[in-house]
Amino acid sequence: MNDFIQWIAKLQWSYIILFCFALGLAPFNPPHIVEKIGMLAKGTLKRPIDWFDLFFHSIPFAILLIKIVITLKK
């Protein structure tokens, strides 16, 4: 786990932000992550593919959050 954190700490901000826009928000109308979070809030997120989509499109934002925490701790 520590190697993963170090890897994220070395990533440039521009790559992480690009990753968030490209994968986190794709497809762009409406963004998949927004649609899946809405389904989760309504309780309609039931199919395995929907859970996979939520997880997959959340990864860039999780990496961004970890990068922010690492940066603030320094």
- Residue 61 has what pLDDT? 94
**Distance (Å, rounded) from C-alpha 30 to C-alpha 6?**
33
- Residue 29 has what pLDDT? 82
- Residue 68 has what pLDDT? 95
- Residue 27 has what pLDDT? 82
pLDDT in 10s for each residue of the chain, 74 residues: 788 889 999 999 999 999 998 887 888 788 888 888 999 999 999 999 999 989 999 999 999 999 999 999 87
Which one-letter amino acid corresponds to residue 56?
Answer: F
